[in-house]
Structure 1
Amino acid sequence: MNDLKQDREPLQLSLKGLSNFCELEESLTLIRTHKLYHKVITTNAFKRLNGVSFLGAIDYLPCFKSLPKPQRTRSDHSLNVAALAQMIAIKRSYSSELTHHLVIAGLLHDIGHPPLSHSVEPYLKEKFGFGHHEMGEMILDGQVSLGKDLNHLLNKNIDIAFIKSLIDGKASKVDGGDLFSSKINLDTIDGIIRSYSYLNPRSQAFSTASVAIASFISDDANKFEVLDDFWNLKHNIYDYLITSGDGLLADVLSQNSIREGKSTLTTYDLFKRENSWHQKFSHVFSSIYSLSNKSKNTLLSPEKPLSYTKRKYYIDSKESEINKRYLYTKNKQYLQ
């Protein structure tokens, strides 16, 4: 972070009273109550994430309707990524200014996700030529009305270009860029463990803080026991949830329902909450809610197989560098 603007207003932030060994809950409490972080959280752009489901169409599958909704939003995920960033930054003894940028990058890394998130993104790219990443930049730059108050706040307090470089995974490791670019990064850590709660809501087998410390702080060889377990969990999450039969069908249903529906999707709709889509695209949600063996048969047949990207996550146990130890492959497969 060598090129931060020198003429912006003082951050006026303090980490006083927060132990270098703070727990995640302490970080979350500070983030929710801190003056600048609170201002970010209460902008229109961030509040919108309260109405964006974390796993998109998968959230509306009948089997997940009973899960607590607050834990399945992009805002809750973003808060936890920010808390992890703060925890690691303090343990690494980063300057307060760098810590603030890392925390805000955690809060804003998903700011561009549309309603139904990744589920509809292939159709968005087909129709508009852009996805959540580009939408995030539009918001951060204040190019859309939703981002005006956030852009004004950021311009007064932090370096937006550096925030973008963190989110893009382009910032250097010396500036904490690895927190967002490493194979086992903060976004992935919270995302995978959050997804695991869909399959096993009562399990406390995986701790985001423990995985983050193993990935970014610990020099103990035993850290690989934690990280190997996490990487295997990621493989299982893709196998049994994200690219499971019902997970793939929920994504396809959401895309097809919007593509073939009577209401036209506009760029204005992309920056709304999901509740507005419940009204305009009610058929999208009803088709997912009612996913059954009968509807599956209409979507799948030997003549019309569903193609998807099959991911395999595996470990090279001979390697001790995280980005070389933890590997994956992608292959096109068909669901029939």
Structure 2
Amino acid sequence: MNSIPSPSFTRESNGKRAVDIPLMLDTAPAMDTLRSDAYFCFDDYFVSELCQTWPMRRLQRIGFLGAIDYLRKGSGRSPHRRRHNRFEHSLGVARLAEAYALHRGLSGNDRRLLVAAALLHDIGHGPLSHTLEPVFEEEFGINHHRMTQRIIRGETKFGDSIGRTLRSHSVDPEEVIALIEGLHDGPLNFLFGSHINLDTLEGITRSRAFFGRRTAFGSALTLTERLSKLDELPTSELDDFWRLKHSVYNLFITANVGLALDSVAQAYMRDNISKFNEDDFLSTEHSLRIKHPYMFEIIKMVACGTRNIEKEISKNWLSVVFPFKRRAFFIDCNESLSDTSAINRRYLQSKTKSSVRLEDIIT
């Protein structure tokens, strides 16, 4: 794997070094990000059984990045030419989980537990993913973490297909939930509970692949295989990944276009909240588009850079202040990776509440 030139650093008063926003460097081949229609093969038929349940299949119609997905028209097979969805991401995380399990020689029970958590960790996402979730949480007390637990426990209209499948293969649904939440008391917990985990490895790599032709740091699969060698954690590669995550958030997800797309979608939902209900969170983007075509029209206008878009949307939206969180990702270079517990001490992050007016980012 090619090395990445180190970005500049700013020394903080506490002696830690903050990573300045580096360029989106193109230095390594893109990872083969899985498509929903791609052939995939796991060693255990248990995976196929879970994927055939309706809650899992629903994720094929839930976008991966929310409104930002509409920067792509959906055509093309290359990662940077198409939209991605939560089903593809979940398969990708499961592939990483299986690779880790095989390299560690985990028992069949532990391997199934790990792969099940990987497949199901996002099962509770709603349409437009993180874009609309803040409004669903404000109005209905719903977020994807709580919904994931409810679906696995069979407490939604989807029934207990997930729980039945897990139990039929001697996998405890409560153990799966604990592992997803990073609260499991076993040695696998760091794979979901650490700041660098299987979910974020696949997700950030996929986000970078969506943004351009190359991933900028290398394969998440290769890095997962290196993580399986617990006596020699890949510090340099993990540092590169943490820098990549900082770039993806600051140059893409919370850049102006990302904020504008999220803001117009949330503005529409708040303005039309009487037309939404709790069940919408368990629907698909296709269903939501049928009920709210104008919301998707304005998302498309922003994504396409339509001129004078402020004339096409409600004037009330332009002056509304939209809250969001700025994220910064830091490396404490004084903290060595002596074991997996050191991951959360070396790789740090901060969240700063900020706000923006829509007229400031689209006019």
- TM norm structure 1: 0.83
Counterpart of 1:146 in structure 2 is 158
SS in 1 for 2:350: strand
**Aligned residues of 1:258 and 1:281 also touching (Cα < 8 A):** no
**Aligned residues of 1:211 and 1:230 also touching (Cα < 8 A):** no
Task: Tell me how far apart the structure 2 counterparts of residues 200 and 299 of structure 1 sit (CA, whole Å).
Answer: 35
Report how far residue 307 of structure 1 moved.
3.3
The correspondence for 1:245, drawn from 248, 251, 256, is 256
Counterpart of 1:155 in structure 2 is 167
Q: Which has the higher contact order (CA 8 A, sep 6+)?
A: 2
Aligned length: 307
The correspondence for 1:294, drawn from 291, 308, 311, is 308
Report how far residue 159 of structure 1 moved.
0.5
The structure-2 alpha-carbon separation of the partners of 1:50 and 1:275, relative to structure 1 and needing over 3 Å to count, comes to same
- The answer to whether residue 52 in structure 2 is matched with residue 36 in structure 1 is no
1:286-322 deviations in whole A, cap 9, x for unaligned? 1110014533696887x65543211111111111122
The correspondence for 2:179, drawn from 151, 154, 166, is 166
Task: Tell me how far apart the structure 1 counterparts of residues 102 and 205 of structure 2 sit (CA, whole Å).
Answer: 23
The structure-2 alpha-carbon separation of the partners of 1:136 and 1:282, relative to structure 1 and needing over 3 Å to count, comes to same
Gap regions ≥5 residues in structure 1: 1-22
SS in 2 for 1:312: strand
**Aligned residues of 1:82 and 1:104 also touching (Cα < 8 A):** yes
Question: 248-257 vs 203-212, which deviates more?
Answer: 203-212
Report how far residue 67 of structure 1 moved.
5.9
Task: Give the percent of matched residue pairs that are identical in Structure 1 and Structure 2.
Answer: 34
The structure-2 alpha-carbon separation of the partners of 1:71 and 1:30, relative to structure 1 and needing over 3 Å to count, comes to farther
Trace 1:1-336 onto structure 2 (pairs within 5 A). 29-31=40-42, 34-61=44-71, 65-66=74-75, 68=77, 72-157=84-169, 158-174=171-187, 176-203=188-215, 205-217=217-229, 219-220=231-232, 223-261=234-272, 264-291=275-302, 292=305, 294-295=308-309, 304-320=320-336, 321-335=342-356, 336=360
Give the AA of the match of 1:117: S
Report how far residue 206 of structure 1 moved.
2.0
Task: Tell me how far apart the structure 2 counterparts of residues 276 and 312 of structure 1 sit (CA, whole Å).
Answer: 35
**Aligned residues of 1:47 and 1:75 also touching (Cα < 8 A):** yes
Report how far residue 204 of structure 1 moved.
6.8
Task: Tell me how far apart the structure 1 counterparts of residues 82 and 50 of structure 2 sit (CA, whole Å).
Answer: 19
Question: 256-265 vs 75-84, which deviates more?
Answer: 256-265
Task: Tell me how far apart the structure 2 counterparts of residues 140 and 44 of structure 1 sit (CA, whole Å).
Answer: 12
Give the AA of the match of 2:308: K
SS in 2 for 1:146: coil
Give the AA of the match of 2:248: I
Report how far residue 192 of structure 1 moved.
0.3
**Aligned residues of 1:70 and 1:76 also touching (Cα < 8 A):** no
Report how far residue 173 of structure 1 moved.
4.4
The structure-2 alpha-carbon separation of the partners of 1:278 and 1:133, relative to structure 1 and needing over 3 Å to count, comes to same
Report how far residue 201 of structure 1 moved.
3.0
Report how far residue 95 of structure 1 moved.
1.0
**Aligned residues of 1:140 and 1:151 also touching (Cα < 8 A):** yes
Report how far residue 193 of structure 1 moved.
0.4
Question: Whose helix fraction is larger, Structure 1's or Structure 2's?
Answer: 1
